[in-house]
Amino acid sequence: MEAVGPERGTPRLMAGVISVAIDSIAAGGDGVGRSDGLVVFVPRTAPGDIVTAQVAGKGHFARGSLRSVVTASAQRVDPPCPHYTRDRCGGCQVQHMSYESQLVAKQRIIRDSLQRIGKRFIDLPDISRSPAEWRYRTKLTLAMVRRGPHWIAGLHPYDEPSRVFALADCPITDSPVVAAWREIMSAEHHFPDARELRGSVRLTEEGPTFVMMGAQSWRSGEAFAASLPNIVALWWEPDNGPRRLLYDRRREKFPSASFAQVNPLMAKELREYVLALVGRREPATLIDAYSGAGELSVALSELGIRVSAIELDEEASRWSGERLAPPSVALQGRVEDILPGAMPADVVVINPPRAGVDEKVSATLEENRTGLQSVIYISCNPATLARDLARMPGYRIDSVRAFDMFPQTAHVETVCELRPDTP
Protein backbone atom coordinates (compact mmCIF):
# COMPACT_ATOMS: atom_id res chain seq x y z
CA MET A 1 0.00 0.00 0.00
CA GLU A 2 1.38 3.38 -1.01
CA ALA A 3 -0.12 6.06 1.21
CA VAL A 4 2.17 9.09 0.85
CA GLY A 5 3.72 10.60 -2.25
CA PRO A 6 7.47 11.09 -2.47
CA GLU A 7 7.26 14.87 -2.56
CA ARG A 8 6.36 17.09 0.42
CA GLY A 9 4.51 14.24 2.17
CA THR A 10 1.28 14.74 0.24
CA PRO A 11 -1.03 11.72 -0.14
CA ARG A 12 -0.97 10.41 -3.71
CA LEU A 13 -2.37 6.88 -3.77
CA MET A 14 -3.84 4.49 -1.25
CA ALA A 15 -5.26 1.03 -1.86
CA GLY A 16 -5.84 -1.80 0.57
CA VAL A 17 -7.49 -2.50 3.90
CA ILE A 18 -7.12 0.11 6.63
CA SER A 19 -8.48 0.79 10.08
CA VAL A 20 -10.23 4.13 10.42
CA ALA A 21 -12.21 5.99 13.08
CA ILE A 22 -15.41 7.60 11.76
CA ASP A 23 -16.06 11.10 13.06
CA SER A 24 -18.90 12.54 10.95
CA ILE A 25 -21.49 11.93 8.23
CA ALA A 26 -21.10 13.41 4.74
CA ALA A 27 -23.95 14.90 2.72
CA GLY A 28 -24.65 11.64 0.88
CA GLY A 29 -24.76 9.60 4.11
CA ASP A 30 -21.25 8.11 4.08
CA GLY A 31 -19.25 8.07 7.27
CA VAL A 32 -16.10 10.19 7.14
CA GLY A 33 -12.77 9.37 8.79
CA ARG A 34 -9.09 10.19 8.32
CA SER A 35 -6.08 7.97 7.88
CA ASP A 36 -2.50 9.10 7.21
CA GLY A 37 -3.66 12.44 5.83
CA LEU A 38 -6.33 10.82 3.65
CA VAL A 39 -10.04 11.64 4.03
CA VAL A 40 -11.93 8.35 3.76
CA PHE A 41 -15.66 7.98 2.95
CA VAL A 42 -17.19 4.70 4.12
CA PRO A 43 -20.90 3.92 3.60
CA ARG A 44 -22.95 2.34 6.41
CA THR A 45 -20.76 3.66 9.21
CA ALA A 46 -21.63 5.94 12.14
CA PRO A 47 -19.72 8.63 14.04
CA GLY A 48 -17.79 6.87 16.79
CA ASP A 49 -17.30 3.64 14.85
CA ILE A 50 -13.84 2.18 14.43
CA VAL A 51 -13.93 0.07 11.27
CA THR A 52 -11.78 -1.70 8.76
CA ALA A 53 -12.44 -0.72 5.17
CA GLN A 54 -11.18 -1.62 1.73
CA VAL A 55 -10.16 1.70 0.24
CA ALA A 56 -8.92 3.10 -3.04
CA GLY A 57 -8.19 6.73 -3.74
CA LYS A 58 -5.92 9.35 -5.17
CA GLY A 59 -4.92 12.73 -3.85
CA HIS A 60 -6.44 13.52 -0.47
CA PHE A 61 -9.67 11.49 -0.74
CA ALA A 62 -10.58 7.81 -0.83
CA ARG A 63 -13.75 5.77 -1.08
CA GLY A 64 -13.99 2.76 1.19
CA SER A 65 -16.20 -0.31 1.52
CA LEU A 66 -16.93 -1.53 5.02
CA ARG A 67 -15.17 -4.79 5.93
CA SER A 68 -15.84 -4.98 9.66
CA VAL A 69 -16.90 -2.90 12.65
CA VAL A 70 -14.09 -3.24 15.18
CA THR A 71 -15.71 -0.99 17.78
CA ALA A 72 -19.35 -0.05 17.37
CA SER A 73 -20.48 3.51 18.03
CA ALA A 74 -23.14 4.18 20.64
CA GLN A 75 -25.08 5.75 17.75
CA ARG A 76 -25.28 2.45 15.85
CA VAL A 77 -28.51 0.41 15.84
CA ASP A 78 -29.68 -2.73 14.06
CA PRO A 79 -31.55 -1.66 10.89
CA PRO A 80 -35.01 -3.29 10.83
CA CYS A 81 -35.30 -3.52 7.03
CA PRO A 82 -33.79 -6.79 5.68
CA HIS A 83 -33.22 -5.15 2.28
CA TYR A 84 -30.90 -2.61 3.92
CA THR A 85 -28.35 -5.27 4.84
CA ARG A 86 -29.16 -8.24 2.59
CA ASP A 87 -29.56 -6.27 -0.65
CA ARG A 88 -27.53 -3.17 0.31
CA CYS A 89 -30.56 -1.05 -0.62
CA GLY A 90 -29.61 2.46 -1.67
CA GLY A 91 -32.99 3.97 -0.81
CA CYS A 92 -31.93 4.61 2.80
CA GLN A 93 -28.44 5.65 3.84
CA VAL A 94 -28.51 5.99 7.66
CA GLN A 95 -30.94 3.33 8.87
CA HIS A 96 -28.08 1.89 10.93
CA MET A 97 -28.01 5.05 13.09
CA SER A 98 -30.35 6.00 15.93
CA TYR A 99 -32.93 8.60 15.01
CA GLU A 100 -31.44 11.16 17.40
CA SER A 101 -28.02 10.79 15.77
CA GLN A 102 -29.58 11.10 12.31
CA LEU A 103 -31.02 14.49 13.29
CA VAL A 104 -27.67 15.72 14.59
CA ALA A 105 -25.91 14.51 11.43
CA LYS A 106 -28.36 16.46 9.26
CA GLN A 107 -27.88 19.63 11.27
CA ARG A 108 -24.14 19.33 10.71
CA ILE A 109 -24.53 18.57 7.00
CA ILE A 110 -26.47 21.82 6.56
CA ARG A 111 -24.03 23.91 8.60
CA ASP A 112 -20.96 22.43 6.94
CA SER A 113 -22.39 22.77 3.40
CA LEU A 114 -23.23 26.43 3.94
CA GLN A 115 -19.75 27.07 5.31
CA ARG A 116 -17.72 25.02 2.81
CA ILE A 117 -19.63 25.80 -0.39
CA GLY A 118 -21.59 28.96 0.39
CA LYS A 119 -19.00 30.67 2.63
CA ARG A 120 -21.85 31.44 5.05
CA PHE A 121 -21.18 30.78 8.71
CA ILE A 122 -24.10 29.71 10.94
CA ASP A 123 -24.60 27.78 14.15
CA LEU A 124 -26.21 24.35 14.02
CA PRO A 125 -29.77 25.03 12.82
CA ASP A 126 -32.79 23.88 14.80
CA ILE A 127 -34.39 20.80 13.29
CA SER A 128 -38.00 19.61 13.46
CA ARG A 129 -38.48 15.88 13.98
CA SER A 130 -40.66 13.96 11.59
CA PRO A 131 -44.00 13.00 13.20
CA ALA A 132 -43.28 9.44 12.00
CA GLU A 133 -39.88 7.77 11.64
CA TRP A 134 -41.33 4.83 9.68
CA ARG A 135 -44.19 4.33 7.19
CA TYR A 136 -44.22 8.05 6.43
CA ARG A 137 -43.75 7.92 2.64
CA THR A 138 -46.93 8.27 0.58
CA LYS A 139 -45.10 7.85 -2.72
CA LEU A 140 -42.77 5.11 -3.95
CA THR A 141 -41.03 4.99 -7.33
CA LEU A 142 -39.46 1.69 -8.38
CA ALA A 143 -37.38 0.39 -11.27
CA MET A 144 -39.07 -2.42 -13.23
CA VAL A 145 -37.04 -4.98 -15.18
CA ARG A 146 -37.72 -8.27 -16.89
CA ARG A 147 -36.33 -11.31 -15.10
CA GLY A 148 -36.91 -14.27 -17.42
CA PRO A 149 -40.62 -14.46 -18.31
CA HIS A 150 -41.61 -12.24 -15.37
CA TRP A 151 -41.07 -8.70 -14.14
CA ILE A 152 -39.60 -7.52 -10.85
CA ALA A 153 -39.96 -4.08 -9.28
CA GLY A 154 -37.37 -2.84 -6.86
CA LEU A 155 -34.52 -0.54 -5.96
CA HIS A 156 -30.78 -0.43 -6.59
CA PRO A 157 -27.95 -1.50 -4.26
CA TYR A 158 -26.02 1.59 -3.17
CA ASP A 159 -22.76 0.09 -4.47
CA GLU A 160 -24.18 -1.43 -7.68
CA PRO A 161 -26.57 1.12 -9.21
CA SER A 162 -27.01 -0.80 -12.47
CA ARG A 163 -28.61 -3.77 -10.68
CA VAL A 164 -32.20 -4.00 -9.40
CA PHE A 165 -33.33 -6.26 -6.57
CA ALA A 166 -36.97 -7.24 -6.03
CA LEU A 167 -38.55 -5.23 -3.23
CA ALA A 168 -40.73 -7.21 -0.80
CA ASP A 169 -41.46 -4.31 1.56
CA CYS A 170 -40.24 -0.81 2.36
CA PRO A 171 -40.60 0.08 6.06
CA ILE A 172 -40.39 3.83 5.43
CA THR A 173 -43.32 3.62 2.98
CA ASP A 174 -46.99 3.63 3.98
CA SER A 175 -48.45 0.12 3.82
CA PRO A 176 -51.24 0.96 1.29
CA VAL A 177 -48.56 2.13 -1.17
CA VAL A 178 -46.72 -1.19 -0.84
CA ALA A 179 -50.03 -3.07 -1.24
CA ALA A 180 -50.79 -1.09 -4.40
CA TRP A 181 -47.42 -2.11 -5.83
CA ARG A 182 -48.22 -5.77 -5.18
CA GLU A 183 -51.51 -5.34 -7.05
CA ILE A 184 -49.69 -3.71 -9.96
CA MET A 185 -47.14 -6.50 -10.21
CA SER A 186 -49.94 -9.09 -10.26
CA ALA A 187 -51.02 -7.54 -13.59
CA GLU A 188 -47.56 -7.82 -15.19
CA HIS A 189 -48.97 -9.55 -18.28
CA HIS A 190 -50.47 -6.17 -19.25
CA PHE A 191 -47.19 -4.23 -18.98
CA PRO A 192 -45.87 -2.46 -22.10
CA ASP A 193 -43.48 -4.36 -24.34
CA ALA A 194 -40.13 -3.14 -23.03
CA ARG A 195 -37.02 -4.40 -21.29
CA GLU A 196 -37.08 -1.78 -18.55
CA LEU A 197 -39.76 0.50 -17.08
CA ARG A 198 -40.28 2.71 -14.06
CA GLY A 199 -43.40 3.15 -12.02
CA SER A 200 -44.60 5.46 -9.28
CA VAL A 201 -47.42 4.89 -6.79
CA ARG A 202 -48.76 7.86 -4.86
CA LEU A 203 -51.34 7.63 -2.11
CA THR A 204 -54.13 10.22 -2.13
CA GLU A 205 -57.22 10.65 0.05
CA GLU A 206 -59.25 8.80 -2.58
CA GLY A 207 -56.77 5.96 -3.00
CA PRO A 208 -53.51 5.12 -4.80
CA THR A 209 -52.65 6.52 -8.22
CA PHE A 210 -50.04 5.08 -10.57
CA VAL A 211 -47.73 6.46 -13.25
CA MET A 212 -46.14 4.00 -15.70
CA MET A 213 -42.95 5.40 -17.26
CA GLY A 214 -41.24 4.04 -20.37
CA ALA A 215 -41.90 2.17 -23.65
CA GLN A 216 -42.98 3.69 -26.96
CA SER A 217 -46.35 1.95 -27.22
CA TRP A 218 -48.82 0.33 -24.84
CA ARG A 219 -51.66 -1.59 -26.42
CA SER A 220 -53.03 -3.11 -23.22
CA GLY A 221 -53.13 0.01 -21.06
CA GLU A 222 -56.92 -0.12 -20.70
CA ALA A 223 -56.84 -3.81 -19.80
CA PHE A 224 -54.12 -3.06 -17.25
CA ALA A 225 -56.30 -0.37 -15.64
CA ALA A 226 -59.32 -2.70 -15.58
CA SER A 227 -57.31 -5.31 -13.67
CA LEU A 228 -56.46 -2.86 -10.85
CA PRO A 229 -59.66 -2.28 -8.84
CA ASN A 230 -57.92 -0.26 -6.10
CA ILE A 231 -56.01 2.15 -8.35
CA VAL A 232 -58.05 5.35 -8.76
CA ALA A 233 -56.03 6.91 -11.60
CA LEU A 234 -53.50 5.67 -14.16
CA TRP A 235 -51.05 7.73 -16.21
CA TRP A 236 -48.59 6.62 -18.86
CA GLU A 237 -45.43 8.62 -19.58
CA PRO A 238 -44.03 7.13 -22.82
CA ASP A 239 -40.45 7.51 -23.97
CA ASN A 240 -41.52 9.53 -26.96
CA GLY A 241 -44.22 11.85 -25.68
CA PRO A 242 -45.95 13.70 -22.84
CA ARG A 243 -47.71 12.09 -19.89
CA ARG A 244 -51.19 10.75 -20.69
CA LEU A 245 -54.12 10.05 -18.38
CA LEU A 246 -55.47 6.58 -19.30
CA TYR A 247 -57.94 5.90 -16.50
CA ASP A 248 -59.52 8.13 -13.87
CA ARG A 249 -62.23 7.54 -11.28
CA ARG A 250 -61.19 10.31 -8.88
CA ARG A 251 -63.92 12.66 -7.72
CA GLU A 252 -61.45 15.51 -7.23
CA LYS A 253 -58.98 15.96 -10.09
CA PHE A 254 -55.96 16.78 -7.93
CA PRO A 255 -52.75 16.53 -10.02
CA SER A 256 -51.45 13.40 -8.31
CA ALA A 257 -48.96 12.66 -11.10
CA SER A 258 -47.17 15.97 -10.39
CA PHE A 259 -44.52 16.55 -7.74
CA ALA A 260 -45.57 16.42 -4.09
CA GLN A 261 -43.76 15.95 -0.79
CA VAL A 262 -43.62 12.30 0.27
CA ASN A 263 -44.07 13.06 4.00
CA PRO A 264 -47.38 14.98 4.21
CA LEU A 265 -47.38 15.50 7.99
CA MET A 266 -43.90 17.01 7.93
CA ALA A 267 -44.79 19.01 4.82
CA LYS A 268 -47.77 20.51 6.64
CA GLU A 269 -45.52 21.62 9.51
CA LEU A 270 -43.01 23.13 7.08
CA ARG A 271 -45.77 24.97 5.22
CA GLU A 272 -47.13 26.45 8.47
CA TYR A 273 -43.61 27.62 9.34
CA VAL A 274 -43.22 29.34 5.97
CA LEU A 275 -46.65 30.96 6.34
CA ALA A 276 -45.50 32.38 9.68
CA LEU A 277 -42.25 33.69 8.14
CA VAL A 278 -44.21 35.41 5.39
CA GLY A 279 -46.71 36.80 7.89
CA ARG A 280 -43.95 38.58 9.79
CA ARG A 281 -43.14 40.60 6.65
CA GLU A 282 -46.80 41.56 5.96
CA PRO A 283 -46.26 41.61 2.17
CA ALA A 284 -48.79 42.96 -0.31
CA THR A 285 -47.21 41.00 -3.18
CA LEU A 286 -45.40 37.66 -3.25
CA ILE A 287 -43.88 35.37 -5.86
CA ASP A 288 -44.09 31.62 -5.19
CA ALA A 289 -41.53 30.07 -7.55
CA TYR A 290 -41.64 26.31 -8.21
CA SER A 291 -45.11 26.46 -6.66
CA GLY A 292 -46.22 22.90 -7.49
CA ALA A 293 -49.94 22.30 -7.02
CA GLY A 294 -50.17 25.58 -5.14
CA GLU A 295 -50.85 24.57 -1.53
CA LEU A 296 -48.73 27.44 -0.21
CA SER A 297 -49.82 29.90 -2.91
CA VAL A 298 -53.52 29.30 -2.28
CA ALA A 299 -53.13 29.72 1.49
CA LEU A 300 -51.25 33.00 1.00
CA SER A 301 -53.76 34.32 -1.55
CA GLU A 302 -56.56 33.69 0.94
CA LEU A 303 -54.77 36.03 3.35
CA GLY A 304 -55.18 38.86 0.84
CA ILE A 305 -51.65 38.70 -0.61
CA ARG A 306 -51.37 39.04 -4.39
CA VAL A 307 -49.48 35.88 -5.30
CA SER A 308 -47.78 35.08 -8.59
CA ALA A 309 -47.42 31.27 -8.58
CA ILE A 310 -44.80 30.07 -11.10
CA GLU A 311 -44.78 26.36 -12.01
CA LEU A 312 -43.50 24.41 -15.03
CA ASP A 313 -45.86 21.42 -14.70
CA GLU A 314 -48.95 22.31 -16.74
CA GLU A 315 -51.42 20.20 -14.76
CA ALA A 316 -50.19 21.46 -11.39
CA SER A 317 -50.22 25.08 -12.59
CA ARG A 318 -53.78 24.76 -13.89
CA TRP A 319 -54.96 23.26 -10.59
CA SER A 320 -53.26 26.04 -8.65
CA GLY A 321 -54.80 28.72 -10.87
CA GLU A 322 -58.30 27.35 -10.37
CA ARG A 323 -58.03 27.74 -6.60
CA LEU A 324 -56.10 31.00 -6.18
CA ALA A 325 -58.07 33.89 -4.73
CA PRO A 326 -58.12 36.88 -7.14
CA PRO A 327 -56.13 38.89 -8.04
CA SER A 328 -53.49 36.17 -7.57
CA VAL A 329 -52.42 34.38 -10.76
CA ALA A 330 -50.77 31.12 -11.82
CA LEU A 331 -47.96 31.51 -14.38
CA GLN A 332 -47.02 28.31 -16.20
CA GLY A 333 -43.45 27.98 -17.42
CA ARG A 334 -39.81 27.92 -16.37
CA VAL A 335 -38.99 30.04 -13.35
CA GLU A 336 -35.86 31.47 -14.97
CA ASP A 337 -37.97 32.70 -17.90
CA ILE A 338 -40.91 34.13 -15.94
CA LEU A 339 -39.35 35.50 -12.75
CA PRO A 340 -37.78 38.68 -14.28
CA GLY A 341 -41.16 39.81 -15.63
CA ALA A 342 -42.96 38.96 -12.37
CA MET A 343 -40.70 41.23 -10.32
CA PRO A 344 -40.89 43.38 -8.27
CA ALA A 345 -42.43 41.74 -5.20
CA ASP A 346 -42.27 42.23 -1.46
CA VAL A 347 -41.37 38.58 -0.76
CA VAL A 348 -40.13 35.76 -3.01
CA VAL A 349 -40.47 32.10 -2.03
CA ILE A 350 -38.40 29.59 -4.00
CA ASN A 351 -38.77 25.83 -3.62
CA PRO A 352 -36.67 24.24 -6.42
CA PRO A 353 -35.87 20.57 -7.09
CA ARG A 354 -32.65 18.98 -5.81
CA ALA A 355 -30.62 20.61 -8.59
CA GLY A 356 -31.34 24.03 -7.07
CA VAL A 357 -32.16 27.15 -9.07
CA ASP A 358 -30.93 28.08 -12.51
CA GLU A 359 -28.15 30.66 -12.37
CA LYS A 360 -30.52 33.12 -14.07
CA VAL A 361 -32.83 32.90 -11.04
CA SER A 362 -30.15 33.83 -8.52
CA ALA A 363 -28.98 36.62 -10.87
CA THR A 364 -32.52 38.02 -11.09
CA LEU A 365 -32.87 38.02 -7.32
CA GLU A 366 -29.46 39.62 -6.91
CA GLU A 367 -30.35 42.38 -9.37
CA ASN A 368 -33.78 43.10 -7.82
CA ARG A 369 -32.96 43.57 -4.15
CA THR A 370 -34.38 47.09 -3.93
CA GLY A 371 -37.77 46.98 -2.26
CA LEU A 372 -37.59 43.23 -1.65
CA GLN A 373 -38.14 42.39 2.01
CA SER A 374 -36.99 38.78 1.97
CA VAL A 375 -36.33 35.63 -0.03
CA ILE A 376 -37.46 32.38 1.57
CA TYR A 377 -35.52 29.48 0.05
CA ILE A 378 -36.93 25.98 0.69
CA SER A 379 -34.29 23.41 -0.20
CA CYS A 380 -34.06 19.61 -0.22
CA ASN A 381 -30.31 19.68 -0.96
CA PRO A 382 -27.91 21.60 1.31
CA ALA A 383 -25.16 21.54 -1.32
CA THR A 384 -27.18 23.29 -4.04
CA LEU A 385 -28.66 25.64 -1.44
CA ALA A 386 -25.13 26.65 -0.46
CA ARG A 387 -24.08 27.05 -4.09
CA ASP A 388 -27.07 29.29 -4.83
CA LEU A 389 -26.40 31.43 -1.74
CA ALA A 390 -22.83 31.91 -2.93
CA ARG A 391 -24.31 33.41 -6.12
CA MET A 392 -26.31 35.92 -4.06
CA PRO A 393 -23.72 37.91 -2.07
CA GLY A 394 -26.14 40.83 -1.69
CA TYR A 395 -28.23 38.87 0.82
CA ARG A 396 -27.56 37.91 4.42
CA ILE A 397 -29.01 34.89 6.21
CA ASP A 398 -31.75 35.89 8.63
CA SER A 399 -32.72 32.39 9.80
CA VAL A 400 -32.21 28.71 8.97
CA ARG A 401 -34.40 25.83 10.13
CA ALA A 402 -34.29 22.16 9.14
CA PHE A 403 -37.21 19.77 8.76
CA ASP A 404 -36.61 16.02 8.73
CA MET A 405 -38.77 15.18 5.74
CA PHE A 406 -36.89 11.93 5.05
CA PRO A 407 -36.05 9.84 8.17
CA GLN A 408 -33.62 6.94 7.64
CA THR A 409 -32.06 8.77 4.69
CA ALA A 410 -29.35 11.43 4.49
CA HIS A 411 -31.73 13.90 2.85
CA VAL A 412 -33.06 16.90 4.75
CA GLU A 413 -35.32 19.87 4.00
CA THR A 414 -34.06 23.34 4.89
CA VAL A 415 -35.88 26.66 5.08
CA CYS A 416 -33.50 29.62 4.79
CA GLU A 417 -34.75 33.20 4.95
CA LEU A 418 -32.54 35.79 3.26
CA ARG A 419 -32.69 39.54 3.74
CA PRO A 420 -31.12 42.05 1.32
CA ASP A 421 -28.03 43.72 2.72
CA THR A 422 -28.59 47.41 3.20
CA PRO A 423 -25.79 49.87 2.39
Q: Is the pLDDT assigned to residue 125 strictly greater than 50?
A: yes
Q: Does domain 13-74 have CATH number 2.40.50.140?
A: yes
Alpha-carbon gap, residue 143 to 166, rounded angstroms? 9
Class of CATH domain 139-248? mainly beta
Residues carrying CATH 3.40.50.150, the chain: 116-129+262-420
Q: Is the pLDDT assigned to residue 387 strictly greater than 70?
A: yes
How far is C-alpha 265 from the geometric centre of its chain's CA atoms?
16
Per CATH, the architecture of 116-129+262-420 is what? 3-Layer(aba) Sandwich (3.40)
Residues carrying CATH 2.40.50.1070, the chain: 139-248
Residues carrying CATH 2.40.50.140, the chain: 13-74
pTM: 0.93
pLDDT 10s digits, 12-64? 456 689 999 999 999 999 999 998 888 999 999 999 999 999 988 777 889 99
pLDDT 10s digits, 273-305? 999 999 999 999 999 999 999 999 999 999 999
Q: Is the pLDDT assigned to residue 103 strictly greater than 60?
A: yes
